[in-house]
Structure 1
Amino acid sequence: MATPIYEFAQIPRVDPAAKARARARRVRDAGQAPTVGVIYNPRSHRNLGADFDCGVCPHVHIAQPRERGQLPQALTEFAAKGIDLLVINGGDGTVRDVLTCGQAIFGDDWPAIAVLPKGKTNALTIDLGVPEDWGLQDAIEALDHGTRVYRRPITVARAEEPGSRVAGFILGAGAFTKSIQAGQSAHRLGAFNSMVVGVTGIWALLQSLFAGRGNAWRKGARMAIGLGTADAPMEHSGHGDPAMRQLLFASTLEKLPAGIKPFGALKNGLKLVAVDQIPRRTTALVPLVLMGKMKDGLRERGIHQVAATQFSLSIDDQFILDGEAFPPGDYRIEQGPELAFVAP
C-alpha cells in the first residue's frame, strides 16, 4: 500500500458538508466477544512471509488490501458489521493509509483502534506504549482490560483542494526529508525504530557541522509557515536566508522514538519545530535541545518550538508525512478527530 509519491488526486474526497456513513452499533452483553476488523498489510516489514492467525475468534474479520484503492471497501464492510475494534497490522505508513481512507467512512465516529507494530517504523506504537511483541489476541484483550490513549492525527490538504485530506502523525521537511532518505539506507543495514533515529540523527548532525551552507542538510527548503487561522507568519531569527528553513518537524504524538524532545516542554496537540539556517555553533547544541537539556534562548538561536491549532505551509520542495514524500505546493495542516487507541 505504498508508492513513491502520494498523488492528491487519488485521495478519497471528504466533503465537509456531508456526513460520514453511519456506523452500525450494537450493545455487547457481558462476556460477549467483541467484533473486530483487522487491516493486515502483508507487505509490512515484520509481516513478510508470516501467516496471520485467523482463528482467534469467529468475530474477527480480516482484510488484506493490496493497494490503497481497496481500503475504503474493506473499511466500509467493517463499519457495516459494527466493529468494536479496528486493528491495524502494519507500520506508520499503513496507519496513515487507513486513517486517510477511513475519514469518509467513520468521520468523527471511529471505533476503538489498536495498532500492531509490524512496520519498519512504528512511531505511533512507541507513543502508545505498545510492546514490540504485541499481537492480535493482546489487542483484543486490551479492548476491555487495557487502557485508552487519545490522539488526534495531523490532516494535510492542498490549499486549493480542502476536501482531499491525508491523515498521519509525523510531518517533516527540509533536512527531515534528507533524514528519511538516509533512514532507508539504515533500514537496509538492519536498523529500525529508535535505532534509525539514532543513526540518521548522528549522520545529520555530522553533515550540518562540517558541510558548507550549500549542502542540502544545511540549506533546507524554501518555505513560508503561517500559524493559526490568521496565518500569522512564523518569526525568523535572522540567521541565514529568511525565506529558507533548514528543517520543519510537526507531530501530535507526545513520546517520540529514542526519547527525543524536539518540542521542548510542549506536549499536547499539534506541535511544530522550525529551524532556521543556523550556524555551526548552534548546530553543536542540537543534541542538548533534543534531550530537553537546553530551553532558553532557542528562538534567538534560530530554533522555534510552537504549538498551533493549525498552520499553512507553502514549500518549493517535497515534504514527508509518515515516511512518504509529497510534492511541493501550498497546504493547510490541521488536526483530525480525537481517536481512542487501545494500549496495554
Structure 2
Amino acid sequence: MQPALIHNPNSRKNTQDKGRFVRMAQRKMGDFCVSALNDSHLPEHLSELKRKGVDFIVISGGDGTVSACLTAIANTYCDGPLPAVAILPAGNTNLIAGDVGFGLQGEDAIDRIMRPAGLKSKVRTPIRLSWPDDDRESVLGMFGGCAGYARAVRIAHSPTVLKFAPHDLAVFFTLFSSFVNLLFRRSRQSWMYGSGLSWSMKDADGSNAVKNIGRSFLYMVTGLEKLSHGIWPFWSDEAHKEGFHFLNVRSCPKDLPRACYNLLRGRAPEWLRAHDDYISDVVGNMLLETESEFVLDGEVFPASTSGRVMLEKGPAFRFLHV
C-alpha cells in the first residue's frame, strides 16, 4: 500500500504543537504529506495523490476534517476502489476517532503507517447528506442531527464552551445542553416544543411510506457503531440491518429523565423501545422535512427553502488501525 497524510494545520491539537508533527511527517513521508489549509484545496490535493497511486489516506484532524476528507475522497476515487483510511485525532471533537481511530499518535503513528502490513480494519458507512431542491453539493459524515441537537451544537460552538470543554467534553456538552435547558423556565417551553419534523422512507418496492409527521425535540443520526464513554442512544429490533442509526424524540416527550438515564448509559429497555415518544432504528435512507438547520460532524448547514433534507447510506470505507 502507498500511504499519504492529509494534515489540517487549523485543527486544535495541530495548532498547539506549533507544526512539530507535520514537519516530522514531511521528513519521513516527503511529498506524500499534504498540509491542507482549506477544505476547498482537498480535491486538488487528492487528485494528485490518486495520480501518484495512493491507496491509503491518513487524516490528521477532527470530525469536521474527517467529514470533508471522506467527501472529497469519494468524489475523487469515484471511478475505482476507495482507498483505505486512518484517523489521527487532532480536533475539538474526535467522535469518529473514538470508534475507528488509528490507535497511535505522533512519530509512532507515522512509523506504523509507513509499514501498513498487518494493520486491522473496520468498515463503516458514512451518511450522505443532500438537499433535493437546492444546488448544494452533497456531503458525507458520521454523526449529526437537527431540532434540539442543532440548537445544542450552536451552544457548544460558542467560544466559552470551546475554551473550557475541548475534545470529547464538547461532545458531552452538546448532548447534555438540550436537557440542561429544561431546568430553566424561560427556555423549557421552546426546547420541549422542538422543531417541525416529518420524514418518509423508501420501502423495498421503491414506494414512499410516511413514518412520522409532527414535531421533534431531538433528532440524531450516526454511521458509527460506538460513541464515547458508553453513550449509545440508538437501537433496532432487527439485528444485522444495514444503513445508519437514527433516534427521534418527539416534541414534549414523556419520561424524559428516565429515558436519558438509560440512553446515556447505552441501554434501551423494553419500555423505552415501546414508547411512542422515542423512535430508533437502522435505515438506508430518510427524506426529512424541517425548518431546522442540520448539523453533520460539527458543521452547521442552513435549512433549504423547501425544508427538505435527504439522508442516505453512503459508500463503505475501510478504516485501518493497530
Q: TM-score range by the shorter chain?
A: 0.7 to 0.9
Residue 141 of structure 1 deviates from its aligned partner by 5.1
Paired residues for 1:22-41 under 5 Å: 34-41=1-8
- 1:56 is displaced (CA, Å) by 1.6
Q: Structure 1 or 2: larger helix share? A: 2
Q: In the TM superposition, what whole-angstrom CA distance separates every residue of 1:44-70 from its partner, at most 9, and x where no partner exists?
A: 000002331111245x51222222221
* Distance across 1 between alignment mates of 2:46 and 2:275: 48
Alignment of 1:221-236 (within 5 A): 221-228=195-202, 229-235=206-212
Amino acid at match of 1:152: T
Deviation at 1:342, TM superposition (A): 0.7
Match of 1:113 in 2: 85
* Range moving further from structure 2, 280-289 or 104-113: 280-289
Which letter does structure 2 place at the counterpart of 1:252? G
TM-score under structure 2 length normalisation: 0.85
Q: Does 1:43 align with 2:16?
A: no
CA RMSD in angstroms comes to 2.5
Q: How many residues align?
A: 304
CA contact (8 A) 1:221 1:315 kept: yes
Q: Which of residues 140, 146, 151 is equivalent to 2:113?
A: 140
2:287 pairs with 1:312: yes
Q: Is the 8 A contact 1:170 1:250 kept in 2?
A: yes
Q: Which residue of 2 aligns with 1:332?
A: 310
Q: TM-score of the superposition, structure 1-length normalised?
A: 0.80
AA aligned to 2:46 is L
Q: Distance in 1 between matches of 2:115 and 2:181?
A: 44
Amino acid of the residue matched to residue 149 of structure 1?
Answer: K
User: Counterparts of 1:138 and 1:218 in 2: how far apart (Å)?
Assistant: 50
Deviations 1:72-126 (CA, angstroms, capped at 9, x unpaired): 1100000000013111111110111112222221125211111110111111110
Q: Distance in 2 between matches of 1:142 and 1:258?
A: 31
Q: Which residue of 1 aligns with 2:146?
A: 173
Query: 1:173: Cα distance to partner?
Result: 0.4
Q: Residues 342 and 214 (structure 1 numbering): CA distance in 2 closer, same or farther, change over 3 Å? A: same
Secondary structure (helix, strand or coil) at the match of 1:110 reads: coil
Cα distance, 1:231 vs. partner? 3.2
Which whole-Å CA distance do the structure 2 matches of 1:251 and 1:326 have between them? 16
Q: Is the 8 A contact 2:132 2:310 kept in 1?
A: yes
Tell me if structure 2 keeps the 8 A contact 1:150–1:341.
Answer: yes
Contact 2:149 2:174 in 1 (8 A): no
Residue of structure 2 equivalent to 1:77: 48
